[in-house]
């Protein structure tokens, strides 16, 4: 561990840490990865590092925003292309499947391609997929475009988190990581709002057409300004691990996503079949990674889970994702089909909550730097649990303003969860495992999102059918089914409340750097 620097000397940074306020040179400091910036201050980033992070933040916001735009756009798209709802849902399911398959490999890609190569690959795939989706002559090409989009999106989020952990000194890491909440939380929440606003005057193709120029500009700026911030590795890709990852995470996400469909009618494949196959493949994948990581050849290094400081916040984060994605899928259905609101009105109701999450991110990050995770996360998960419990009382005649208030409360609680959890989890790892930790977080996010969607939709569907059988109107039955689904969501969230008391701040070593635990 390096000693604290004197005013007239330059400290040797920890591997993977960047140093601010000192001139950045081309020659690496001994003991630091080549290409990693060096600093002596801890309250400011060099301009070139700030530019890289800002560009990654904007790019990640755009690609993640695109993930949830289909929820409101599905109805007009079905009419235009002449497809059924079960067919149209594949635009979301295929996106999630692709994300689940690619994200486990993102740790390997980041280490092999470097920051610059991974960014150019991610934005090239996203831009190409967006162009294909906007110009698609039919559903098949649109589906292909969504898959290509998802491939780029899956790389971008782990790239952003890994770069921040590499460049930002520990003393201000919470403040900078607070901006990630704009991407991870606000972007998915704002997707339906943007989509509703576009569809109010334009066709569904403009949902893709409006974000395409932003993606292309980000690609050009990345080509000009993004550089590698850590050493690349030259490990070989293990094809068998990639196959097992595709079967494991693809099978689990597909099976969970089809539970809701099975509740309404008999699917082509029973959900338990891909879930069981996915679970078996996941076991084989884990066994394979344990063997390969002895030689540092793992596609996804599972040693990150050995750190209690990583696994506990990740577990809380997963439960939070279940609540967030479950709410995102149910509220548009409730507002449009039970309350009879238009897509634009639906988007506007969920807009304030999304904006609140984004605006609070940097503030929560600064608070985290001062007080640590528990004083923020414990109240956050408690507010989310109370909001979910209040959602159980909504019905077809509820006031839209009541739903708006509950969604704002839910968003407030989530805002106080995600930034501290991301920062605490990754700060507990050694720098050479940041990319694998980021990939693990992204993978768990997709699985939790699929599980949340499956749980909320399945409960809503089965209970709605039961209420209709008892003579309730479709609108009343749907509203009651939504309320019952939030009962389950509340129960799950209570688990996160209990886990939040196990959180610990990563212990700081000399100079304020975290001491990784669990290694």
Question: CATH number, domain at 167?
Answer: 1.20.1250.20
pLDDT score, position 518: 40
Given pLDDT bands bounded at 50, 70 and 90, which one contains residue 283?
very high
- At 120-142, the pLDDT tens digits run 999 999 999 999 999 998 899 99
Whether 291 is covered by a domain: the verdict is yes
- pTM of this prediction exceeds 0.75: no
Whether 37 is covered by a domain: the verdict is no
Whether 419 is covered by a domain: the verdict is yes
Whether 12 is covered by a domain: the verdict is no
Given pLDDT bands bounded at 50, 70 and 90, which one contains residue 385?
very high
For residues 149-168, b (16+ Cβ closer than 10 Å) or e, as one string? bbbbbbbbbbbbbbbbbbbb
Return d(Cα 37, Cα 39) in angstroms, integer: 7
Return d(Cα 35, Cα 53) in angstroms, integer: 15
pLDDT score, position 36: 42
Whether 357 is covered by a domain: the verdict is yes
pLDDT score, position 181: 67
pLDDT > 80? residue 487:
yes
Provide mean pLDDT across the span 310-336: 84
Q: pLDDT over 90 for what percent of the chain?
A: 18
pLDDT > 60? residue 8:
no
pLDDT score, position 39: 41
pLDDT > 90? residue 383:
yes
Whether 41 is covered by a domain: the verdict is no
| Cβ contacts of 361 within 8 Å, gap of 6 or more | 178, 179, 180, 181, 182, 185, 186, 415, 419
For all residues of the chain together, what is the average pLDDT?
79
The structure tokens 């409006």 sit at 210
Phi, psi of 40 (to 5 degrees): -115, -30
Given pLDDT bands bounded at 50, 70 and 90, which one contains residue 514?
very low
Domain that holds residue 256: 47-227+234-505
Whether 353 is covered by a domain: the verdict is yes
pLDDT score, position 348: 80
Whether 473 is covered by a domain: the verdict is yes
pLDDT score, position 129: 95
Return d(Cα 286, Cα 288) in angstroms, integer: 5
Give the number of domains in the chain: 1
> Where does residue 7 rank: exposed (0-12), middle (13-18), buried (19+ CB within 10 A)?
exposed
């Amino acid at each position: 561990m390096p000693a604290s620097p004197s005013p007239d000397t330059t400290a040797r940074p920890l591997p993977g840490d960047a140093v601010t306020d000192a001139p950045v040179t081309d020659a690496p400091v001994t003991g630091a990865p080549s290409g990693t910036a060096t600093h002596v201050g801890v309250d400011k980033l060099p301009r070139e590092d700030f530019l890289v992070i800002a560009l990654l933040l904007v790019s990640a916001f755009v690609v993640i925003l695109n993930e949830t735009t289909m929820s409101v756009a599905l109805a007009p798209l079905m009419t235009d292309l002449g497809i059924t709802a079960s067919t149209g849902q594949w635009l979301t399911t295929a996106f999630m499947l692709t994300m689940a398959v690619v994200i486990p490999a993102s740790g390997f890609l980041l280490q092999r391609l470097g920051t610059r190569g991974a960014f150019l690959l991610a934005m090239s795939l996203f831009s190409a997929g967006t162009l294909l989706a906007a110009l698609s002559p039919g559903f098949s090409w649109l589906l292909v475009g969504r898959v290509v989009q998802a491939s780029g999106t899956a790389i971008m989020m782990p790239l952003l988190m890994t770069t921040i952990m590499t460049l930002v000194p520990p003393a201000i890491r919470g403040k900078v990581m607070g901006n990630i909440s704009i991407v991870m939380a606000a972007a998915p929440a704002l997707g339906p709002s943007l989509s509703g606003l576009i569809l109010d005057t334009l066709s569904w193709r403009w949902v893709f057409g409006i974000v395409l120029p932003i993606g292309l500009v980000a690609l050009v700026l990345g080509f000009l300004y993004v550089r590698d911030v850590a050493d690349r590795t030259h490990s070989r890709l293990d094809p068998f691990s990639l196959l097992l990852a595709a079967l494991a995470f693809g099978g689990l996400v597909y099976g969970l996503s089809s539970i809701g469909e099975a509740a309404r009618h008999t699917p082509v494949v029973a959900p338990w079949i891909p879930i069981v196959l996915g679970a078996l493949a996941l076991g084989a994948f884990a066994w394979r990674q344990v063997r390969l990581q002895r030689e540092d050849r793992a596609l996804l290094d599972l040693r990150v889970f050995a750190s209690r400081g990583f696994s506990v916040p990740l577990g809380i984060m997963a439960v939070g994702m279940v609540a967030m994605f479950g709410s995102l899928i149910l509220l548009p259905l409730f507002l449009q089909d039970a309350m009879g609101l238009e897509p634009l009105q639906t988007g506007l109701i969920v807009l304030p909550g999304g904006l609140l999450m984004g605006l609070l991110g940097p503030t929560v990050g600064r608070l985290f730097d001062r007080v640590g995770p528990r004083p923020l996360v414990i109240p956050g998960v408690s507010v989310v649990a109370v909001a979910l419990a209040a959602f159980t009382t909504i019905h077809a005649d509820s006031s839209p303003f009541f739903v708006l208030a509950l969604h704002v409360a839910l968003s407030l609680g989530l805002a106080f969860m995600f930034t501290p959890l991301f920062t605490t989890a990754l700060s507990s790892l050694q720098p050479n495992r940041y990319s694998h930790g980021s990939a693990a977080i992204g993978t768990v996010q997709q699985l939790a999102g699929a599980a949340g969607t499956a749980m909320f939709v399945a409960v809503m569907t089965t209970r709605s059918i039961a209420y209709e059988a008892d003579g309730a109107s479709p609108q009343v039955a749907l509203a009651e089914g939504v309320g019952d689904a939030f009962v389950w969501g509340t129960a799950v969230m209570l688990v996160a409340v209990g886990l939040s008391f196990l959180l610990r701040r990563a212990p700081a070593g000399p100079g304020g750097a975290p001491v990784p635990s669990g290694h």
